[in-house]
């Protein structure tokens, strides 16, 4: 994702929209809410990436203590983060985004739509590059 962000999003070639798809139950919802709480401290992507790395490494429970601990590892204000997470202020947003993604026909994560073309699963940069470059060329030729 970082290379895609650097080469396409940060250069203004592509608009990237991230939608939560919390499909694994309450822990999935809590993780999504936690990333939004991190966003309040301008740390959405660092938190998101750390959260997923932790799940791949440890498969720990995503309870409040664990989520706040991850925020601390990123040197976020853990008190503000914990207050945000306890408030549930992002739960409706997460629910709505998950429903919208499901309505698009996606059934798993990660999933990507590029101008309506679906790319399923984690793919190498080259796969995204090919599709994005084809779509950019099509737009430029019009």
Q: How many CB atoms lie within 10 A of CB 122?
A: 10
Give the domain extent around 71. Answer: 2-140
**Model pLDDT for residues 73-122, shown as the tens digit of each residue:** 999 999 999 999 999 999 999 999 998 888 887 777 777 878 878 887 78
Q: How many domains does the chain have?
A: 1
Burial (Cβ within 10 Å: 0-12, 13-18, ≥19) of residue 67: buried
CATH number of the domain where residue 66 is located: 3.40.30.10
Q: For a pLDDT cut of 70, what percent of the chain falls above it?
A: 95
């Amino acid at each position: 994702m970082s290379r895609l962000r650097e080469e396409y999003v940060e250069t203004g070639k592509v608009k990237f929209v991230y939608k939560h798809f919390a499909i694994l139950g309450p822990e999935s919802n809590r993780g999504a809410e936690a990333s939004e709480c991190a966003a309040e401290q301008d740390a959405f992507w660092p938190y998101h990436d750390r959260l997923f790395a932790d799940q791949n490494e440890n498969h720990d429970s995503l309870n409040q203590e664990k989520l706040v601990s991850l925020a601390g590892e990123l040197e976020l204000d853990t008190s503000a983060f914990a207050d945000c997470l306890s408030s549930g202020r992002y739960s409706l947003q997460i629910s709505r985004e998950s429903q919208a993604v499901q309505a698009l026909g996606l059934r798993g994560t990660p999933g990507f739509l590029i101008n309506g073309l679906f790319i399923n699963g984690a793919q190498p940069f080259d796969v995204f590059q090919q599709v994005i470059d084809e779509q950019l060329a099509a737009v430029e030729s019009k």
